[in-house]
Structure formats: C-alpha cells, structure tokens
C-alpha cells in the first residue's frame, strides 16, 4: 500500500525552469519519447514535451482492446504522471508538431483538437531537439484503403474497431438478411501478417469461441477470419518452426491464411486481391483491418526535404551511431521515424530512449566539468607558485576534474540488445523466440502463453496499469467480454 501510494502521488513541489540551462524539446509520447523522459535527469535541462496525445499507449496489447478483452484505460498512462515525478518541472503541450526548422532551431506546433482557445499555435525555440514522432500506417497508395479500412495503431482505432465488429454482427442478425449478405458481414479480413495482424486474428477467434457462441449461437459458425499477407509466410521475424506452428494453429482455429497475396484495391464491400497464382479475385468482407507496416509522417518527409544531401533514405531519418540526425547539429531522432538496421519495434524504441537519456546526461556533466576546469585554471593563474598552500590544493582539484572529464568524454555508441520476440496466436497459446547463449530458443503453446502474459505485465508502465490489466483478464475469465 505504501509503494502504491508513493507511486500515484507525485511530489508537491518541483524546481522551476532555469534560464541558464539548455532547453530540450521532445516531440512525441510513444515508446521512445516516454522511455527517454522517464530515464532523463531533468536537473540538467529545461524539458518541453509536445504530442497530440497526452498519454503513453502500451501498443502490444491494443488488439486485446479491439475485441473487449481489455479496457482502453488499462493500457494508457498519463504523460503528466511521468512529468510530475521529475525533479524539475516539465512543460507538456497537447499539440501537433507541424514543422521543424533545424537551421533556426525552432518547432512550429498547433492545437488541432476539436476545442481550441484563442491561442492555438506557436513556435518553440530549442537548444536540443529529440525527434520521436513515430510513423503512420503504410497504405502503399492502394485505392480505397483509407476510406474503407480500419487501422490498428492508436487507441481510437481500437475503439472504432471494437464498435465495427459488433456492428457487423448485429447487422448480420437483422431479420430477413440474405444468406450471401450474412456471409459477407461475418467475414473479417486482416491485411498484414506481422505481430499486430496475427494477434488481432487470435483475439478475434477467442471472442468467437468464448462469447459469440453464447450470445449469437446462430451466427457463431458463420464468422470467418482471413489473414492476408504479401510475403511467403506470416511473422517473418520469427523462426521457421514457430511460423509453421502459428499457421497450423490458425488452421485448427479455421483462420484462413492467404500468403503471397497482394491487395490491389479496396471497395465498399469487396477487396480485390492478386492471389499466389497471379489471378485477380474479389473477397467480400464486412470488416477490413489494415495492419500492413509503417510510413513516415508528413512532418518527417518535410524535415528530410530540408536536408537533401544527408537524408537520402525514403524509409525514414538517417542517424549516426549516437542517434544524432545526419546533416544538422543538436537534433536526435529515435523510434519508428528513423531508418536504421533495427526493426521498428517497441523494444528498439525503448532502448533508444533510455540510451539518449543517459547520453544527454553525460553531455551535460561534460559541459559542467569543462566549465569547472576553466574556472579552476583561471583561479590558478592568479595564485603564487609553490608546493604549499592554495596552489597545491588547486592543482590537485584540477587533476581530479581532468580525470572526471576524461571519463565523461568517453561516449559509447548506441547498441541494441535483442530480448526476444513474443506473439499471441489465440486459444490461450503464444509463441516466443528468445535469445539463448549463441542461438535462439523457440517455444509455443499454453506455457508460452503464461510467459507472454507475465512478460507483458512486467513491461507495463506502472502499478496502476498492471493492476487494471490483470483485473480485466480476471473479469473476462469470470464474466466474458
């Protein structure tokens, strides 16, 4: 009880802005930005965070929200919760970053919410910019995707998806509906065979098995799930045996997996695909979920256009080994907005945020020691020579500061440590691909499902999130969704 109270009640007083310290502006509130803010020592900087949402979202559990396994509030944590536990006050603006001017060190932001005040846009100057705006869903320019699909990237997407699933079921239950129309409405198509698409398919199957059969027995057997993937197999980041295990599990669950199948167009009631035989066919659907990768946001593309000689990768921003943006000083880029050799995962973004917090702290300490050394050397020049007295003490202090400075100047590049990959595949089964000595340990089944749950619970942001998620799981087990 003591620790719970301490965690939920921040300190009553925080240090105010210090005009003598540098201002760090953080764009974003996702995995990378939140990880950095959580681990950052705000004693060294004035910190401003700008994001269109005022909370951190635990995205791996988003598919569970879409079918009602978890409540939305269980997987979010207020950004101000993090900020209020820092030593120095952090300014948080719920706004969209519209433009970054790296040459004049300015960021233009605007309040794009439905309710606006008299002042709803401004330009913020910065000394250091941490660019962590993430990415948006990739549509590949396919006609009809934005108009007719449901995405699964943000919290409103999951809530919309939850409503659409029930709309399809209730419309299918409407009197005098034709058999063909019922089959269409009860056909749920998921495009994208990555972890998001696979986990949503598994969660949707659980909803059918555990709840739909009780409340809609006449429709339960009609609901069909189809997973569409352009690559030769789903979950390409997992080992071959786990891919085969997932596909065989989906076959047992009557989830149809269409690999080597490309979406060509999405219409109001059908999706046009090119199958593995090269033939064009139309698949009627009631609900289409699009989970097919990431693409850079417009503000990121604009930033890249301002640095054409250095930013040459269309996938995202190029950074050096210290996460500094190529082509400009005092800008760091982390998370899904970057184009690195690492996969755009929460695990990578979290480690990048943690590293950058340490890096900026080290740079602040280095500057402080350099200033102290300059002051000491200035004092020494005015002291009399000799082995005794203040001159000797000053020399010893200078030597001590030089040693500390040499240590602070040794900055290590970012190194990603892969902790493994997890995915839920339905029917209380999960798969895990974990590093083990010099190889990998692959596991799948019910025991792995328990490990998957414990790993996610331990990764949740706060005690509040852990308590809410576990209570949601218990409620679903006792009372259904």
Q: Give the length of the chain.
A: 481
Tens digit of each residue's pLDDT (9 = 90 or more) over 67-91: 999 999 999 999 999 998 888 999 9
Whether residue 311 contacts residue 326, with contact meaning beta carbons closer than 8 Å, is answered with: yes
Residue 9, pLDDT above cutoff 70:
no
Tell which wins on pLDDT, 62 or 397: 62
Token pair in block for residue 283 = 């698949």
Report CA 135 to chain centroid distance, whole Å: 9
Query: What is the average pLDDT value for the chain, to the nearest integer?
Result: 90
Q: What are phi and psi of 51, to 5 degrees?
A: -155, 145
Q: Percentage of residues in the chain with pLDDT exceeding 70? A: 94
The beta-strand segments (E) located in 111-186 are 121-125, 128-131, 136-137, 150-151
Beta-sheet pairing, 106-110 with 121-125: antiparallel
Average pLDDT over residues 273-295: 93
Tens digit of each residue's pLDDT (9 = 90 or more) over 202-248: 999 999 888 888 899 899 889 999 999 999 999 998 999 999 999 99
Which residues are paired to 280 by β-bridges? 274
Whether residue 336 contacts residue 293, with contact meaning beta carbons closer than 8 Å, is answered with: no
**Pairwise CA distance, residues 157 & 215, whole Å:** 25
- The predicted pLDDT at position 10 comes to 64
**Predicted TM-score of the model (pTM):** 0.90
Angle at Cα 447 formed by Cα 233 and Cα 71, nearest 5°? 80
Tell which wins on pLDDT, 405 or 250: 250
**Pairwise CA distance, residues 44 & 364, whole Å:** 6
**Pairwise CA distance, residues 456 & 346, whole Å:** 12
Q: Give the model's confidence band at 461: pLDDT under 50 very low, under 70 low, under 90 confident, else very high.
A: confident
């Amino acid at each position: 009880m003591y620790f719970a109270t301490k965690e939920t009640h921040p300190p009553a007083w925080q240090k105010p802005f210090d005009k003598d310290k540098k201002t760090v502006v953080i764009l974003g509130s996702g995995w990378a930005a939140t990880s950095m803010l959580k681990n950052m020592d705000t004693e060294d900087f004035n910190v401003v965070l700008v994001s269109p949402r005022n909370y951190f979202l635990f995205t791996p559990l988003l598919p569970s929200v879409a079918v009602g396994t978890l409540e939305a509030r269980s997987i979010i944590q207020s950004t101000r919760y993090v900020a209020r536990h820092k030593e120095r006050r952090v300014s948080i603006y719920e706004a969209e970053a519209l433009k970054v001017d790296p040459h004049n060190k300015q960021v233009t932001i605007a309040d794009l919410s439905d309710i606006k005040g008299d002042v709803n846009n401004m330009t913020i100057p910065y000394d250091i910019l941490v660019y962590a705006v993430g990415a948006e869903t990739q549509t590949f320019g396919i006609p009809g995707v934005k108009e007719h699909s449901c995405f699964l990237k943000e919290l409103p997407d999951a809530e919309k998806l939850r409503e659409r699933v029930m709309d399809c079921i209730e419309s299918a239950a409407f009197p005098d509906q034709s058999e063909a129309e019922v089959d269409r409405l009860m056909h749920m198509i998921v495009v994208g065979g990555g972890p998001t698409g696979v986990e949503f398919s598994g969660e949707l199957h659980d909803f059918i098995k555990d709840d739909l059969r009780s409340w809609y027995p006449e429709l339960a057997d009609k609901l069909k799930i189809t997973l569409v993937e352009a690559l030769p197999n789903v979950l390409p980041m997992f080992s071959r045996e786990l891919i085969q295990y997932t596909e065989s599990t989906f076959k047992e669950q009557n989830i149809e997996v269409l690999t080597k199948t490309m979406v060509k167009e999405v219409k109001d009631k059908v999706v046009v695909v090119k199958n593995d035989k090269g033939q064009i066919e139309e698949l009627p659907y009631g609900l289409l979920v699009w989970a097919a990768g990431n693409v850079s946001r417009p503000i990121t593309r604009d930033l890249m256009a301002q640095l054409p000689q250095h930013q040459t990768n269309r996938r995202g921003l190029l950074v050096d080994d210290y996460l500094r943006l190529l082509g400009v000083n005092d800008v760091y880029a982390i998370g899904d907005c970057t184009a690195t050799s690492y996969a755009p995962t929460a695990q990578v973004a979290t480690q990048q945020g943690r590293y950058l917090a340490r890096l900026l702290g080290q740079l602040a300490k280095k500057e402080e020691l350099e200033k102290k050394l300059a002051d000491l050397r200035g004092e020494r020049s005015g002291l009399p020579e000799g082995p005794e007295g203040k001159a000797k003490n000053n020399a010893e202090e200078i030597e001590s500061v030089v040693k500390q400075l040499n240590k602070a100047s040794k900055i290590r590049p970012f190194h990603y440590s892969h902790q493994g990959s997890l995915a839920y595949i339905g029917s209380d089964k999960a798969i895990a691909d974990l590093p083990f000595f010099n190889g990998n340990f692959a596991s799948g089944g019910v025991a792995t499902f328990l490990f998957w749950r414990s790993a996610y619970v331990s990764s949740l942001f706060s005690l509040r999130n852990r308590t809410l998620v576990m209570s949601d799981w218990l409620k679903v087990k006792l009372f259904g969704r």
